[in-house]
Amino acid sequence: MMNFRLVQPKRLVDINRIAGLGRIEKTERGIRLGALTRHAEAARSELLAENVPIVAEAMAHVAHVAIRNRGTVAGSLCHADPSAEWPLLVTLLDGEIEILGGDGRRTATPAEFFLAPLVTDMEETELVTGIHLPPHETPCGMAFDEVAQRAGDFAVVAAGALVRVEDGRFAEVRLGLGGVSDTSVRAAALEDALTGRPATAEAIEASLALTVEDLEPNDDVHASAAYRLSLVPVLSRRVLGRALERATA
């Protein structure tokens, strides 16, 4: 942004060296990722692999080696691209964004934090210090997938799913979608409809039409709204199906 002179800050603070901002740790509330956690570190983290394996799966889609080495969780969240992986992950995982400002600390849910493409509810004096990923009931299965024009490009559409099965029925279903709205969204109608239904591929298939309800993606230089919408049920089926397999494996 600065290289194009789209942003010309008078002061720029380098937070790269603040000790502890890049830590991934287990807390009483779940898992906390410091703002400076690099994509590559998240992909390698054993703690994340054990608890939220979808993170590593998603990180494989983030840009390329050198970008994954430098790019951070907070950078991705604050950039608030509706196609990006981290906004989708915190939306899917009911994460909380931890913010430090002149008035002290606060947290924001993804719905509160992401206002529009490239717009967040951050004040100028605020800083994202990390994210909390709350624990989820186990065993569950997760899966991530996306369609991009080339390897590492921003997703045309991205989807992440979390599925928990009890007694052969969906006890919990979460489906997050990126690239189809101003922000990452959850497919609430599908989640509600599937919960309690028999945990089968057929049930997933029957629910897919609900994924595109209320979605109004935009046409842009990369893809038409119609193409994006066509991908939603396809990716939803793929991630829900894989998550189901993993939940019952």
Partner 1 sequence: MSDRTHITLTVNGEPFEAYVEPRLLAADFLRDEMGLTGTHVGCEHGVCGACTITLDGVSARSCLMLAVQLDGGDVRTVEGLGTTREMHRIQQAFREHHALQCGFCTPGFLMTVGEILDTLPLRDDGEIRDALSGNICRCTGYDHIVKAVRALVNERDGVSDP
Partner 2 sequence: MTDTTAYIRPKYVGEPVRRLEDPRLLTGRGRFTADIRLPRMVHLAFIRSDQAYARINDIDTEGVRAMPEVIGIFTAADFTHIPEIEAPSKMMSYQATACPVLAKDAVRYVGEPVVAIVASSRYAAEDAAALIEIDYDPLDVAVSARDALAEGAPKLHEALASNVILERTFATGDAPAEIANAPHKVSGRFNLTRKTSMSTEPRAYLADYDVGKDELTLYGATNIPGIVRDEVGRLLNLNGNQIRVIAPDVGGSFGGKGSLYPEEVIVADLARRLERPVKYVADRLEELTASSQAFGEEIDATLAFDAEGHFLALDAEIIGDIGAYSIYPWTAALEPVQVASFLPGPYKTPSYRGRVRGVCTPKPPTGPYRGVGRPMAVFAMERLVDLAAAELGMSPVEIRRRNLVGARDFPHRIGSGIIWERSGFQECLTAAEDAIDLTALEAERQRSGKWIGVGFASYAELTGIGSRIAVAPGMPMNTGTETASVRIDATGAITASFGLSSHGQSLETTLAQIVGEELGVRPEDVRIVHGDTAAGPHGTGTYASRSAVLGGGAAIKTARTLLTRVKQVAATLFDVDPERVETGDGRIFVRDTNHSIDFRELARVVYADMATLPMEKRETLEARETFDPIVGTTTSSTHVAVVEIDPETLAIKLRRIVVAEDCGKLINPLVVDGQVHGGVAQGVGAALLEELKFDENGQPVTATLADYLVPTPAEMPDMDVLHIETELPDNPGGFRGMGEGGTIGATAAIANAVADAVSHLGIGINSLPITPNKLHALVVATREPNGQE
Contacts of 83 (CB under 8 A, 6+ apart): 154, 155, 156, 157, 158, 178, 179
Q: Minimum Å distance from CB 232 to partner 2?
A: 11
Nearer to partner 1 by Cβ, of 10 and 103: the residue is: 10
Q: Residue 240 in contact with residue 204, Cβ under 8 Å?
A: yes
What CA–CA distances, in Å, run from 4 to 1, 13, 100, 208, 226?
5, 19, 29, 41, 31
Strand 114-116, strand 119-120: pairing: antiparallel
Contact string 143-172 vs partner 1 (x = CB under 8 A): -------xxx--------------------
Nearer to partner 2 by Cβ, of 72 and 236: the residue is: 236
Residue 65, both tokens: 């080696």
| Site size for partner 2 (CB under 8 A) | 20
- Cβ count near 156 (within 10 Å): 22
Q: Minimum Å distance from CB 169 to partner 1?
A: 38
Query: Which of 7, 19, 28, 66 is the binder for partner 1 (CB under 8 A)?
Result: 66
Interface positions, 127-156, toward partner 2 (CB under 8 A): 147, 149-154, 156
Q: Minimum Å distance from CB 225 to partner 2?
A: 10
Q: Which stretch binds partner 1 (CB under 8 A): 59-67, 116-124, 128-136, 239-247?
A: 59-67
Strand order of the β-sheet with 169-178 is 141-148, 155-166, 169-178, 185-186
154 binds, among partner 2, partner 1, none (CB under 5 to 8 A by kind): partner 2
Establish if 67 lies at the interface with partner 1 (CB under 8 A): yes
Contacts of 77 (CB under 8 A, 6+ apart): 86, 87, 90, 97, 113, 120, 128, 131
Note the residues at the interface with partner 2 (CB under 8 A).
4-5, 147, 149-154, 156, 221-224, 226-227, 230-231, 234-235
